Structure 1
Amino acid sequence: MSSLFLALILYPDVQKRAQAELDSVISRDRLPTYDDKPRLPYIEAISKELMRWHVVTALGVPHSPTDDDFYKGYFIPKGLRIDRAILHDPELYPDPEAFNPDRFLNEDGTFRDDPMIPLAFGAGRRICAARL
């Protein structure tokens, strides 16, 4: 929740757009339900961008190599936080430090899922136990 509040303070345009989407879909008479999810693509994009932008679970425990290393041809420098490297790759996420929910929307405004986002919960034997 603190990452959400930080994003909405730092990016007020995101907050305004999210509020406009909520008002247009459900107005102010009730709270959203799971039935509303398909009609709230920007809200869904915000949730995915939150997972990418500030990894909450930090892949269990932040991992950093103690020495420079190579893995399957990839150079991994000493001290690199692995969780940040995965979801902050500028080739996959241009301007990775910016909070930009639009990266999860198609040109027509529909939600576009990203297969990398589940990595925020870890992988392999260190995957989040609550996710199983």
Structure 2
Amino acid sequence: MVSLDFSKLGGLVPVVTQDAATNEVLMVAFMNEEAWNHTLQTGKATYYSRSRQCLWIKGETSGNIQKVQEIRIDCDNDTVLLKVEQVGGAACHTGHRSCFYRKLIDGGLETIGSPVFNPKEVYRS
């Protein structure tokens, strides 16, 4: 069993998530040991929400789950790369396919692409 080093960032490791088919970077998040184990057990990307201080199974609310296809670990055992099948087409809570939907141009941000879903309809509070 692979043992990650959770000691460097207060019990967390950064996770870069890519689309397995296209290698597009979808998002960056964090995992604690519980999220790591849940991901391994279920095959669904599970993260640790720093703002809510709890586990966060990607897509649990929106239906846009991430099915893990491949896991890579960096040379220091403290960063994870997930290659996933992005079910539902959107990884970002804003409704965009990727959290990296803004491009820096001439000192300003330009939005690339349109949202796949309306977050106001999905995340009703």
- TM-score calculated relative to the size of structure 1: 0.24
Higher strand proportion, which one? 2
Higher relative contact order (CA 8 A, sep 6+): 1
The structure whose Rg is larger is 1
Question: So what's the TM-score if we normalise by structure 2?
Answer: 0.25
